[in-house]
Structure formats: C-alpha cells, structure tokens
Amino acid sequence: HRDKQMFRLLKHAVCAAEHALSDNILRRIAPREAELLRDPSMNVKVKFRFGGTEFPPVIYFKIYVRNFNGALPKYVHGKKIINADMNARVAACKQMGNRKFYEQMLSDSLHGSDGRASHEIDVVTLKDYMQYSSLLDELPSYLGGRANHWRRLNLEDIPRYTIFYDIMSYMESGNITSDLRDKLPILLVQPYSSSVQLQHIELLKQI
C-alpha cells in the first residue's frame, strides 16, 4: 500500500513538474542549453518518464523544442548535405584524414544493420519514422544526430527549495518533511479535473 501511495505521489508530481519546473530544472541540469533555448521564437518543453527495474523508479528527462509556429527545428549536418558526387566530400576526406573519414563512413553504414530505419529513405510507415527519429536523438552530433537522448534526473538537479525536491528526497531516503506531510493529501488526489491539476502545479511552484 505504501509503495502504491508513493508511486501515485511521484506520478502526480512528475506530471505537474513538466508545467511548473521545466525552466528551473533545465537551468540547473543544462545551463548552456537553457541559455540557448531562451530564444522567444522557440517553444521549449522538458518531459519526464520513469525507468529502471526497481522501486522507486528512476526519472529521466528529455528536451523537446519547436519553433514559434509549431514546426520542428531543422538540423543541418554534412551527412545530409554532402553527396557522394560533390567536391566537398573529397575536401572533407582530406581535412579529416583517411582513417577518420573511413571510420565515419563505416559507422554510418552500420546504423541500419539491425533492421531499424536509419535514413530518410527508409521511412515508409509511422513505426519507421519513430525508429528514425529515436536514432537521431541517440546519435551524437558529430555522427549527424541530435544528441538529445533521455537523461537521468538526479536529486541535485532539482531546486532544493521546492516540494518536488522534498518528494524526490522522500523517495530516496524515506524521510518526509513537515511541509510535504501537510501537502500530501492534496498531492495524492487524482488529477482528473483541471482544478486539481492546477492545484498540483501551484504547489510545485511554491518556494
């Protein structure tokens, strides 16, 4: 019963944190990215998910970015722009050196060896698109990816003065603060209505 209660508390807190603490958490875990994403033309969202094989679960986060009109940003890289018949490929080989260039080519050729979509021309179905998008997120930028994989959220990444920090600390240590104990009845209410959702968000915003 206690584990179910703790999981419900954590689930409600994570859902509310996406709305209430995205900016604060992003500034702590990725200050350079946060500074870059302050551009008013961008719509930035930090999403969380659970992972791990034990209880309490591990929380992972990922940054999603859209332009002001809702379009996804365009990623520019040599793998997509430089074709085999272009002089730029020869110049790149000379600049990188043969060994590094061939390692890059070999790495690119191995991406689709597991049967997953690894290039735009492989995308036929929605499943292919999801696989291709996931691959781009996982790949580092020097391999033509977006380097935007799911990253683990640690306790030190969360602002200490928030209820969310108290909840995460409670999950890890089992020690509950008096402030969290007072707010526990509200946070455990199922957020079926918008009013309850707003209550959760406001609680997590409080200092």
Co-location of 63 and 84 in the same domain: no
Burial (CB < 10 A; 0-12, 13-18, 19+), residue 32, is exposed
Domain identity same for 57 and 159: yes
Amino acid letter, 49? R
Domain identity same for 117 and 134: yes
Do 46 and 7 lie in a common domain? yes
Whether 45 and 88 share a structural domain = no
- Domain count of the chain? 2
Instruction: Specify whether 68 is located in the same domain as 6.
Output: yes
Q: Which of 127, 143, 159 is the last residue of a domain?
A: 143
Judge whether residue 62 has pLDDT over 80.
yes
Last residue of one domain, picked from the residues 118, 143, 168? 143
Distances (CA, A) of 46 to 61, 79, 94, 116: 7, 28, 40, 27
Q: CA–CA separation, 170 vs 183, rounded Å?
A: 13
Domain residues for 114? 78-143
Strand-pair category, 42-51 with 151-152: unpaired
Rounded distance, CA 152 to CA 149, Å?
10
- Give whole-number Cα distances, 170 to 10, 33, 46, 179, 198, in Å: 10, 29, 23, 12, 23
- State what percent of residues in the chain have pLDDT above 90: 0
Q: Indicate whether 165 and 185 sit together in one domain.
A: yes
Kindly state whether residues 157 and 61 are assigned to the same domain: yes
What H or E segment, with its residue span, contains residue 169?
Answer: helix 163-173
Annotate 50-80 with b (16+ C-beta within 10 A) or e (fewer). Answer: eeeeeebbebbbebebeeeeeeeeeeeeeee
Do residues 88 and 137 share a domain? yes
Grouping H, G, I as helix, E, B as strand and the rest as coil, residue 170 is helix
Q: Which amino acid is at 113?
A: S
**Model-wide pTM > 0.75:** no
Residue 84 has pLDDT above 70, yes or no: no
- The answer to whether the Cα torsion of 61, 67, 72, 77 is positive or negative is negative
- 8 and 60 both lie in a single domain: yes
What are the pLDDT digits (tens) for 9-35? 888 888 887 777 677 777 777 777 777
Q: How does pLDDT run across 89-133, given as a tens digit for each residue?
A: 777 778 778 887 777 777 777 666 666 776 777 788 888 888 888
Residue that terminates a domain, selected from 143, 176, 193? 143
How far apart, in whole angstroms, are the C-alpha atoms of residue 171 and residue 156? 14
Sheet strands (E) in the chain: 42-51, 58-67, 151-152
Of 118, 145, 144, nearest to 131 (Cα)? Answer: 118
